[in-house]
Each structure stands twice: as C-alpha cells, then as structure tokens.
Amino acid sequence: AQSVTQPDIHITVSEGASLELRCNYSYGATPYLFWYVQSPGQGLQLLLKYFSGDTLVQGIKGFEAEFKRSQSSFNLRKPSVHWSDAAEYFCAVGAEGYSTLTFGKGTMLLVSP
C-alpha cells in the first residue's frame, strides 16, 4: 500500500521569499502524484499533478513540483510567495491504475509580512 509523508506540519515564510514544501511517498511502482491546496473552510483545489514524462511539473498560481524517483520525493516550490498563498497544502499519491488517493497530513503555510 502506498503512503505519503509531509514532514513539516507548519511553515512560515516571509512574503516575497521562496517556498519549498516537502513530500515523500512510498510506493513500489511509478506513482501518480498530486498537490492540492485548501484554504480555511474551503474544499481542495488541484495545484498540479505528475503522471509521467517531464519530472518538473508546472501548476497554477506559479507553483511547480519536481518528481525525484531516487529520493521518492515530490516537493512543491514557488519562487516568490504572496500573502494569498497562506493555506494548507496536501500531497497525494495514487497507484498506477488508481481509483483512490492517499493523502499526507498536510503542511500549513503561514506568510509573514
């Protein structure tokens, strides 16, 4: 069975600074990987996904993520954080041919002035 670890429960970043949120997965084959963002009291919005091909994936709102098979990681990055990026971020993995997703526990991003 697959699993996802997001090692950081909270991260605080200054507005305008760069951001990297960590995600490690455990799965024996090629995973399908996702990052979702959840604003307070809201549902999940898909930021980006990796299915195959180029290991650097571009998403919405200026986010990108890089799939590194050797490190079993799929870290999310943004070069310059905006105050509106403050939210909770979830990494998720689906097995090949998946029909369900396994989520990490999330990382809460706080943006300081």
**Interface contacts to another protein, rule CB under 8 A:** 4, 32, 34, 36, 41-46, 49, 51, 90, 92, 94, 96-106
State which residue, 8 or 98, has the beta carbon closest to another protein: 98
Question: In the complex, what is the shortest distance from the CB of residue 92 to another protein, in angstroms, rounded to a whole number?
Answer: 8
Question: In the complex, what is the shortest distance from the CB of residue 91 to another protein, in angstroms, rounded to a whole number?
Answer: 9
DSSP designation for 99: S
State which residue, 37 or 111, has the beta carbon closest to another protein: 37
Question: In the complex, what is the shortest distance from the CB of residue 21 to another protein, in angstroms, rounded to a whole number?
Answer: 14
Token pair listed for 72: 């079993």
State which residue, 44 or 86, has the beta carbon closest to another protein: 44
Residue 45 CA from chain centroid, whole number: 11
Which segments within the chain are labelled E, that is strand?
3-5, 10-14, 19-21, 24-26, 32-38, 44-50, 56-58, 64-68, 73-78, 87-94, 102-103, 107-112
Question: In the complex, what is the shortest distance from the CB of residue 51 to another protein, in angstroms, rounded to a whole number?
Answer: 7
Query: Coil, strand, or helix at residue 73?
Result: strand
